[in-house]
Amino acid sequence: MYEVRIHSRGGQGGVTAARLLALAAIRDGKYATACPFYGAERRGAPVVSYVRIDDRPIRVYSQIRHPDLVLVLDPSVMDVVDVLSGMKPGGRVLMNAGEPREMKGFPTFAVDLTGIALRENLVVAGSPILNTPVLGALAKMGIITMESAKMAIEEMFSDRRNVAAAETAYRELVA
């Protein structure tokens, strides 16, 4: 089973990113679940979401304590949360940043999701929405296919800018 933990802030699209990733994995013929974890949060508060992907039915629906991949949509979350807590050996990190940074020996990938969202004018209530561009980066990392990413995005959103943002993130991912 492949487990993903997504760290974001309320209003950035982290919960929807988890749903999109699970939907894309299902379109790839996998089993997948998405589960957000938050209380009475508000826009800007730290939020964690979880995605499990497997070739067999998934019977676990809970927090992920030992992820294979940690996705950080807002690097400032790292000031209040240990995003690497429980990482599996060989785990990877995907950061919303222009360049990868050293993360305690874990391979780190970076893509400027905020810049992509702003260029595509994917903004709600003044906040760039990062959920669709991140699918392109995840496709480039081999978590899902780009075809399934596009299908999932098109199922949830009719605006073609969302697919364009995912395609840009696919091209701009840096290892």
Check pLDDT > 60 for residue 166.
yes
User: pTM for the complete prediction?
Assistant: 0.93
Residue 31 makes CB contacts below 8 A (sequence gap 6+) with 25, 53, 54, 55, 56, 57, 58
The mean pLDDT of 57-71, rounded to a whole number, is: 94
Quickly state the pLDDT bin for 100 (edges 50, 70, 90): confident
Quickly state the pLDDT bin for 173 (edges 50, 70, 90): very high
The mean pLDDT of 147-156, rounded to a whole number, is: 97
Check pLDDT > 90 for residue 9.
no
The CATH fold assigned to 2-172 is Pyruvate-ferredoxin Oxidoreductase; domain 3 (3.40.920)
Element (H, E) at 96: strand 92-96
Token code pair at residue 23: 């939907």
Percent of the chain with pLDDT over 90: 78
pLDDT given at position 40: 57
The mean pLDDT of 132-157, rounded to a whole number, is: 97
Cβ atoms 108, 137 nearer than 8 A: no
Rounded to an integer, what distance in angstroms lies between the CA atom of residue 120 and that of residue 130?
Answer: 11
Quickly state the pLDDT bin for 1 (edges 50, 70, 90): very high
The mean pLDDT of 45-54, rounded to a whole number, is: 92
Beta bridge partners of 174: 110
Task: List the one residue out of 175, 112, 99, 104 whose CA is nearest residue 141.
Answer: 175
Rounded to an integer, what distance in angstroms lies between the CA atom of residue 82 and that of residue 123?
Answer: 28
What does the DSSP 8-state code read for residue 66?
A: S
